Amino acid sequence: MENGGNGVNYESKETSTMTIKGILSLLMQSTVENKNKRVISLGLGDPTLFSCFQTTSVSEEAVADTLFSHKFHGYAPTAGLPQTRQKIAEYLSRDLPYELSSHDVFITCGCTQAIDVSVAILARGGANILLPRPGFPIYELCAAFRQVEVRHYDLLLEKGWEVDLDSVKALADHNTVALVVINPGNPCGNVYSYNHLEKIAETAKQIGTIVIADEVYGHLAFGSNPFVPMGVFGFIVPVITLGSLSKRWIVPGWRLGWFVTTDPNCTFKNPKVVERITKYFDLLGGPATFIQAAVPRILNQTEESFFKKTIDDLRLNSDICFKEIEEIPCMFCPHKPEGSMTMIVKLNLLLLEDITDDIDFCFKLAKEESVIILPGTAVGLKDWLRITFAADPSALVEGLKRVKVFCQRHAKNG
């Protein structure tokens, strides 16, 4: 185990194959014994579990129309439907100082497949990849399968979870194939400023690697920093942008994601690189063809009022969550979330009687109170908790009240 400053305990490599869905499934099984309380899940980043988060009617109608048109029952090209690739290129180009083309876009089964593709195409003998800690454990799992060494750089709690650029420089060598940046942040709920992202790009250039920008929570920012795509700095360093419809359009089950080379200097246009990416996509199966076919209409016709409501709801829930946690003595949130749908909370075990660590806390909480929270160990922070606040406000309040009761039950006397 490695101990960081400011009370941050970083989890060891032994947890590198832990998955969020795997541990949440085990936690759900622990709630079976308690049939007197409904289960409240604040662990999975799926807002569709709650009625207040619904996608647009335009999205549903677009999918229904493409399905019943009988035109999209066959295979799509392995890189995706041309019209879908073009429309995603146009959508992403709105926020960039240059224009993307359809050839820069590859359609994936959600952002998870885009993550796997990005690791797979960069894998080679002796390669290593720089991942944030805390972060999203799918990267570790993909790297393990591809025999790519994982090196964790720290996110600085005292600076609002900014990237420790000195740590990045110290970890990198000639075998470093990519620097992964998650923005808006999961699990911390942070949103990086323009200036910090520029420094990240300059650091990546200095160490001679590319940036993989995980922007699955893109545009879900409700604090002082607006969302800035990493691709804005594509002139400084080559960027692979990963994203999806899942979070912004509240359709995670549709599995519509993208892998995009945001690279105006055309580093990825090298014929050998193009061939490697194209051939790898030939191995994959993309999202359902009729889902792909619906994307142009979804991107064109979704009204800004829908996005505003989602942001307003997330801001409100973030406020509720932060306030409720302030009422629980053994829990502390160092930074109020400014984006995404998750927040990270420090657990003070010294105030609890019979709780050994964050995993023990979460399993006993699930069994006694039927509340599901993700242990921080799953995202690289031992004795922390990740809470997903994309929930009905009433469920959020009830769930956190139960957490408070649980903590009082297990509090040390005196």
d(CA 246, CA 317): 19
Distance of CA 210 to the CA centre of its chain: 19
Token pair 């979460």 in the structure block, residue? 362
d(CA 136, CA 207): 23
Position 291, amino acid: I
SS (H, E, C) 152-221: EEEEEHHHCCEECHHHHHHHCCCCEEEEEEECCCCCCCCCCCHHHHHHHHHHHHHHCCEEEEECCCCCCE
How many C-beta atoms lie closer than 10 Å to residue 21's C-beta?
10
Contacting residues for 41 by C-beta, under 8 A, at least 6 apart = 24, 28, 49, 371, 372, 388, 391
Q: Where does residue 120 fall: left (phi above 0), alpha (psi -120 to 50 degrees), or beta otherwise?
A: alpha
pLDDT value, residue 206:
98
CB 255 within 8 A of CB 114: no
CB 68 within 8 A of CB 407: no
Among 300, 284, 298, CA closest to 77: 284
Among 304, 313, 319, CA closest to 390: 313
Max CA distance (Å), the chain = 70
For the chain, how far is it from start to end, CA to CA, in angstroms? 30
d(CA 379, CA 377): 5
pLDDT value, residue 156:
98
d(CA 114, CA 108): 6
- CATH code reported for the domain at 57-301: 3.40.640.10
pLDDT value, residue 259:
98
CB 256 within 8 A of CB 287: yes
* Cis before 184 (ω within 30): yes
Per-residue pLDDT of the chain in tens (414 residues, 90 and over written 9): 344 445 576 654 444 567 898 999 999 998 876 677 899 999 998 999 998 999 999 999 999 999 999 999 999 999 999 999 999 999 999 999 999 999 999 999 999 999 999 999 999 999 999 999 999 999 999 999 999 999 999 999 999 999 999 999 999 999 999 999 999 999 999 999 999 999 999 999 999 999 999 999 999 999 999 999 999 999 999 999 999 999 999 999 999 999 999 999 999 999 999 999 999 999 998 999 999 999 999 999 999 999 999 999 999 999 999 999 999 999 999 999 999 999 999 999 999 999 999 999 999 999 999 999 999 999 999 999 999 999 999 999 999 999 999 999 999 985
Burial (CB count <10 Å: 0-12, 13-18, 19+), residue 328: buried
For the domain made up of 20-54+305-410, give the CATH fold: Aspartate Aminotransferase, domain 1 (3.90.1150)
Give the CA distances from residue 314 to residues 15, 223, 226, 244, in Å, rounded to whole numbers and listed in that order. Answer: 30, 11, 15, 18
CB 248 within 8 A of CB 309: no
Contacting residues for 321 by C-beta, under 8 A, at least 6 apart = 333, 337, 343, 387, 389, 396, 400
In the chain, where the domains are located: 20-54+305-410, 57-301
